[in-house]
Structure 1
Amino acid sequence: MDLFNYSRRETSEVNIGAVPLGGSNPIRIQSMTNTSTQDTEASVEQAKRIVDAGGEYVRLTTQGIKEAENLMNINIGLRSQEYMVPLVADVHFNPKVADIAALYAEKVRINPGNYVDPGRTFKQLEYTDEEYAKELQKIRDRFIPFLNICKENNTAIRIGVNHGSLSDRIMSRYGDTPEGMVESCMEFLRICVAENFKDVVISIKASNTVIMVRTVRLLVAVMEKEGMSFPLHLGVTEAGDGEDGRIKSALGIGALLADGLGDTIRVSLSEEPEAEIPVARKLVDYIVTRKDHPFIPGMQAPEFNYLSPSRRKTKAVRNIGGDNLPVVLADRMDGKTEVSPEFKPDYIYAGRELPAIRESGVEYILDADIWNGEEGTWPAFNYLQLSLLETTRAELKFLFLPYMALTDEVIACLKKHPEVVIISQSNHPNRTGEHRALVHQLITEELKNPVLFFQHYTEDHAEDLQIKSAADMGALIFDGLCDGIYLFNQGSLSHAIIDATAFGILQAGRIRTSKTEYISCPGCGRTLFNLQNTIARIKAATSHLKGLKIGIMGCIVNGPGEMADADYGYVGAGRGKVSLYKQKNCIEKNIPEEEAVERLIELIKANGDYKEPEK
């Protein structure tokens, strides 16, 4: 794989109704209904809204036989109104439902974690190799008849692995690891290959972006080793809503799209399904503009491990680099005054002079050529004037450095000045590739200077900044290259929005926590309570609990599994009933929905994790 130059991975083409996927086809956009699949009219109307927004596939939950059979009526209802969108049946726990759904849907999603294996109970199971082989034979015996039905009906399948619903069998042998997720998928893919079944799409998802990106990278490497080129469906599960959902999705999906991986995407927001489509469209369109970009002559550092990267080793310069959390750098030179008391940058670049009124708790940076130290030891900032590195007395020096300016002279200067923090800048169409190239050259030259990434935009809408900046930062964060971020926007957005976006990116990448994290699903026909209202109520009561992870899940498919990654969980247990979790342990079952939020707060208080909000 070329880390520096964008091109899409070559994949096989999969026929899904009249909308083929993979091969030379464009990256497809999709969403999922949250109506009852037994409600034909509601499902048809919502599917139409998804299509009208630009969705190219529509998925519906089929938790039982009745739902699977009603796909026929939904299909008829759409076709009668000239909506030819392929339908995708989403099946968990019951392989018989998949058999029926294959008769009426253009594609069927099955979950390897519960297709034959029983639902996850977090039990440690012991198998001999012979016993394990028998379990695999059970899968073959049940899966092959389903593939035959799909062949007869020209139905595609998606093998959809979720971090939250790995089977106890896989967990017991491989642990809660990317390797376990990949093997869960490969068991089914190998059967498809043996049976010459080619209309297969793969997804391998998690709410944890680090796990999601590492697992997809590993899956592609394993498939390549075994001669497979199946297309990929990308998504971050339970991404949440609002700016958090957009940033987390763009960071995880964007990191993979940037490396040419992905043939269809779904942005899973806890909002109306049609709201997902414009976000997905903006993300895909932004990434694919990199096609045929000018060549970047980057060289991969020999010690870099793409499949299992670790943070680049740097020399700490005050609170930057080393083992320090990544910092946020911002500026205030446009006269705008709206800032966020919740998200304060670590450093503010002030240009030629310090402002008359300064924000508390923030360090200011001045241009090196006017810095004289008389007003304190302000950090100095310069644009590649190497002589200033020698003469400026500042303890902390920032050097603004594009990749193509990283000459032998600059490298020699940086070796003499480990106290210099590099600000990597790129105006390249593939800025991710050029930022990567600079850091890989630093690694090769054994330079330990910390690196901040300067990302320049001209956005007037918060969503556009969130999507683009998260997509640009994704691979840099997951590669372990990021010591800080500097978002610079020349549009009309306030500093409060820009700063919140920078901190949101670092949190979504699991490298710096600055607020409560919500792992919330988008909802589907299995959800038996008002998900959006519930999320709003939980956020209102807990958003001040910085660093706490709270899962809000519509049902048990991924609920308990994702609770293992959350501190507390709120999971739909039945109509109007909710169960509460502490990590993966169910603490209270079947609480009336109207009491559940208050009981969740009581649970958090009982475990000492609650504090009253500041007035």
Structure 2
Amino acid sequence: MLDLLPTSASASDSKSRLYTPSLTEYVRRKTVTVRIGDVPMGSDFPIRVQSMTTIDTMDTAGSVEQSIRMIEAGCEYIRITAPSVKEAQNLENIRKELRARGYTTPLVADIHFTPNAAELAARIVEKVRINPGNYADRKRFEHIDYTDASYAAELERIREKFLPLVRICKEYGTAMRIGTNHGSLSDRILSRYGDTPVGMVESALEFLRICEDEQYYNIVLSMKSSNPQVMVEAYRLLVQRLDEEGLQPYPLHLGVTEAGEAEDGRIKSAVGIGTLLEDGLGDTVRVSLTEEPEREAPVAKALIDRYTRRAAEASAIPPVGHYPIDPFQYKRRSTHEVFNFGGANVPRVIADYSQTPVTEYDQLKAIGHFYLPVPDKWAMNDLGADFIYTGATPAAFMLPNGLKEIIDYTAWQTTGDTANKFPLLTADEYLAARQTPLSNRLNVVRVSLSELSESLIETLRADPTAVLLATTTNAHAMPELRRLFVELINGGLTLPVIIQRAFPTVSADDLPLYAATDMGGLLVDGLGDGVMLAGGTEPAEQKRHNELAFGILQAARTRITKTEYISCPSCGRTLFDLQETTAMIRQRTDHLKGVKIGIMGCIVNGPGEMADADYGYVGIGRDKIALYRGQQVVKKSVPAANAVDELIGLIREDGRWLEPTNSEQ
């Protein structure tokens, strides 16, 4: 095995590691304790689960019943919107009724734009959440050139508006979350820092410094985005900045905002939340799904529960000395091209058929390849796998042109088709085969971290046909695979790497969460040129694995193969049925590959929260919709009955509309 002892770290390397206690061990970040009713938060306590009601806050009975369903589903904090003073006042009625029925779960008031509502709510509930992007500012999408003096004057204005809430929270023992959202950064922050994780962090720090000046520390911080890459980078940078400035190590609330619905929403949430949990970051989790709120808590709990015994179950991984990856800015690892892996190619998807001999054309339907008997041709959809791994039993027929085959080395040696079939070798087979003819185009070498020897590295360095299949059985899988990438980068190797994971004992519900964490956590850091989910013998399993692989690549923003919906999870501000509307829009548009559509229930979650959407559908009143192109409103007060047609009209105007095929209709 290669000597994997750490090399000496430079000052810049040390600084880059501040966001996590360890890159290779599971160690939870130490934080201060925040008192939230009788459910404290911080590193001395379990990671907490929370969600948010969707009922109108003025509906006391409905809010209470929904809160109880959420509590019984596992929620430890219940967040309720308070868009104005009247809703803030009604929080007292909701709280009293819950207490009368024996529920003491802390309540959190969600505040946007209305300091007077926050100040009232802070006297009633256990915690208030404010968004620094809109608590003291109104967004006009204007660029402003600030001098240092004029910016300082803006900070003083914010202080005057924010101080009353801080002092009330301190007096009443109320906790506060300073929750930055990527999409609702103020014009002031955007003008000064740009639409960046740096701007997100600074937006929170401006408010946090005011709190610390007042010696108020009962604070939780969050850095939410609908883009998991941005979200991960912002949380990491926040932790680093807190340390650099000597600020308190406050607990972190984790969430990917507007994640969407169904499996796509779960995958997207896991890529962001799971990546941070792997590195010991996070003290409470909210999974934002466009579904009933009681369905969110079990998903959050499944993500959290994976770490309850992680430190005990994980095998030791050698520590990292020189960390060559910038954890605060996405950059794909530099690789040379081998066949169609690496270089400028998108990450590839390899479907595992090694446990199921491929004898019939119809078996490939599960991975997006369809044989059409009448024209005697193959067709492929947008989720068509790039490779099929058949293990020791090659496919019994010629595969379609869009699909290549990887075969175990021993079986490959007897095949006559070296143009479309390529060998997979163990590390030992690969080293022993140096004197034996291999493929002159592509040779896949399966390697774990423990097998990465000096002789293997030198052989790989000299081989322009080699692609690694990186695998692990470690419970702390993502960090071990990351450690393997670190060795390659520090050793100057640029060969492509396929990430392989297998989850033979994981439930169907947990599979997308675990796979999205382990693979997505690497992909968001620019690591990985392909993915392979091993296992599965039935067509339904193989179909799900294939769709999951493409879904993870899409969530990590490394390969876009389908329409993306950035839809908020609904709350008491929502002006239409989000689940029904999202389903209706999806039915009409889900064939538009690569188009991003934001579906927002109200103006609070409007143009800002759908920061990187191409088009937006935003509720602005009862049965009234505003349509956006990017962050610019282009149609106001569209009747809801016509709004989807008008949205499609916008997409047509931009030349991005495609008529659905018969199979898509």
Do structure 1's residue 559 and structure 2's residue 606 form an aligned pair? yes
- Quote the residue 1:296 is aligned against: 317
Corresponding letter in the other structure for 2:366: V
SS in 1 for 2:636: strand
Q: Is the aligned partner of 1:379 residue 2:422?
A: yes
**Aligned with 2:571: secondary structure?**
coil
> Which deviations, in whole Å up to 9, do the C-alpha atoms of 1:26-85 show, x marking residues without a partner?
100000001000110000000001000001000001000010000000001111111111
State whether residues 4 and 432 of structure 1, in contact with CA within 8 Å, keep that contact through their aligned partners in structure 2: no
- Aligned residue identity for 1:587: V
* 8 Å CA contact retained: 1:164, 1:562: yes
Alignment of 1:11-50 (within 5 A): 11-50=31-70
Separation in structure 1 between the aligned mates of residue 454 and residue 275 of structure 2, nearest angstrom: 31
Match of 1:331 in 2: 352
Amino acid at match of 1:473: M
Alignment CA distance shift 1:183-1:232 (3 Å): same
Where 1:429 maps in the other structure, the secondary structure is coil
Q: 1:391 aligns with which of 436, 458, 470?
A: 436
The residue correspondences of 1:438-517 to structure 2 (distance < 5 A) are 438-458=484-504, 461-490=507-536, 494-517=541-564
SS of the residue 1:601 aligns to = helix
CA separation of 1:151/1:362 partners in 2, compared to 1, >3 Å: closer, same or farther? same
TM-score in terms of structure 1 length: 0.97
Give me the whole-angstrom Cα distance separating, in 1, the residues matched to 2:432 and 2:127.
63
- Are residue 108 (structure 1) and residue 128 (structure 2) matched? yes
Alpha-carbon spacing, 1:494–1:421, altered in 2? closer, same or farther (3 Å):
same
Of residues 267, 274, 285 in structure 2, which corresponds to 1:254? 274
Q: Is the 8 A contact 1:368 1:392 kept in 2?
A: no
What corresponds to 1:213 in structure 2? Answer: 232
Contact 2:351 2:367 in 1 (8 A): no
The residue aligned with 2:265 is 245
Structure 1 residue identity aligned to 2:412: W
**1:160: how far off?**
0.7
Q: Distance in 2 between matches of 1:478 and 1:545?
A: 24
SS at match of 1:103: coil
**Do 2:53 and 2:80's aligned partners in 1 also have CA atoms closer than 8 Å?**
yes
Shift of 1:290: 1.7
Does 2:624 align with 1:581?
no
Partner of 2:10: none
**In the TM superposition, what is the alpha-carbon distance from 1:491 to its structure 2 partner?**
7.7
- Shift, 1:357, TM fit: 4.1
Note if contact 2:259-2:265 (Cα within 8 Å) is conserved in structure 1: yes
TM-score between the two structures when normalised by the length of structure 2: 0.90
> In the TM superposition, what is the alpha-carbon distance from 1:558 to its structure 2 partner?
3.0
- 2:405 counterpart residue number: 364
Quickly say closer, same or farther: Cα 1:359–1:64, change in 2 above 3 A. farther
Residues 408-454 of structure 1 show CA distances to partners (whole Å, capped at 9, x for unaligned) of 12112212213210011100110111101111111111111111111
Letter in 2 for 1:98: A
Match of residue 454 from structure 2: 408
Aligned to 2:391: 351
What is the aligned partner in structure 1 of residue 582 from structure 2? 535
Offset of 1:93 from its aligned partner?
A: 0.4
The CA RMSD measured in Å over matched residues stands at 1.5
Mark the CA change 1:163 to 1:419 in structure 2 (over 3 Å): closer, same or farther.
same
What whole-Å deviation, never above 9, does each CA across 1:4-30 have from its counterpart, x for those lacking one? Answer: 211111000000001000131110000
Cα distance 1:130–1:488, how it changes in 2: closer, same or farther (>3 A)?
same
Tell me, what secondary structure is at the counterpart of 2:294?
helix
In structure 2, how many angstroms separate the alpha carbons of the residues matched to 1:204 and 1:460? 30
2:285 is equivalent to residue 265 of structure 1? yes
Deviation at 1:592, TM superposition (A): 1.3
**In 2 relative to 1, CA 127–369 (structure 1 residues): closer, same or farther, beyond 3 Å?**
same
Q: Secondary structure at the match of 1:558?
A: coil
**Aligned residue number for residue 53 of structure 1:** 73
Tell me if the contact between 2:352 and 2:534 (Cα under 8 Å) persists in the aligned partners.
yes
1:207 and 1:168 mapped to 2: Cα distance? 19
Cα offset, 1:311, TM superposition: 1.4
Judged with a 3 Å threshold, the aligned counterparts in structure 2 of structure 1 residues 302 and 7 are, in CA distance, closer, same or farther, namely: closer
**Unpaired runs of at least 5, structure 2:** 1-19, 358-362, 369-380
Native 8 Å contact 1:113 1:167 kept in 2 = yes
For 1:154, the equivalent position in structure 2 comes to 173
Task: Give the secondary-structure state (helix, strand or coil) at the position aligned to 1:379.
Answer: strand
C-alpha deviation, 1:358, in angstroms: 5.4
Instruction: Work out whether residues 354 and 392 of structure 2, in 8 Å CA contact, stay in contact via their aligned partners in 1.
Output: no
* 1:169 aligned counterpart, secondary structure: helix
SS of the aligned residue for 2:49 comes to strand
Aligned with 1:440: secondary structure?
Answer: helix
**1:126 equivalenced with 2:145 (yes/no):** yes
1:382 Cα deviation after fit: 1.0
Deviations, residues 457-511 of structure 1 (Å, cap 9, x unaligned): 1257543211110011232112211111110135865211000000000000000
Superposed CA deviations along residues 543-578 of structure 1, whole A, max 9, x for unmatched, are 011111111011111311244411111001111111
CA contact under 8 A between 1:200 and 1:230: conserved in structure 2? yes
Instruction: Check whether the contact 1:460–1:491 (CA below 8 A) recurs between aligned residues.
Output: no
Secondary structure, aligned partner of 2:366: coil
Contact kept in structure 1, 2:352 and 2:536, CA below 8 Å: no
Aligned letter for 1:178?
P
Deviations 1:141-190 (A, max 9, x none): 12222111112211100001111111111111111111111110000111
Q: Report what 1:320 is aligned to.
A: 341
Structure 2 equivalent of residue 608 of structure 1:
655
Cα-to-partner distance string for 1:306-347 (whole Å, 9 max, x where unaligned) = 223421111110110112111111211333836042422111
Residues 1:171 and 2:190 are matched in the alignment: yes
- In the aligned structure 1, how far is the partner of 2:639 from the partner of 2:56? 21
Provide the secondary structure at the position in 1 that maps to 2:200: helix
Amino acid across the alignment from 2:385: P
Give the Cα separation in 1 of the matches to 2:548 and 2:587: 20
Aligned residues with identical type, % of pairs: 48
Distance, in Å, in 2 between the alignment partners of 1:90 and 1:309 is 31
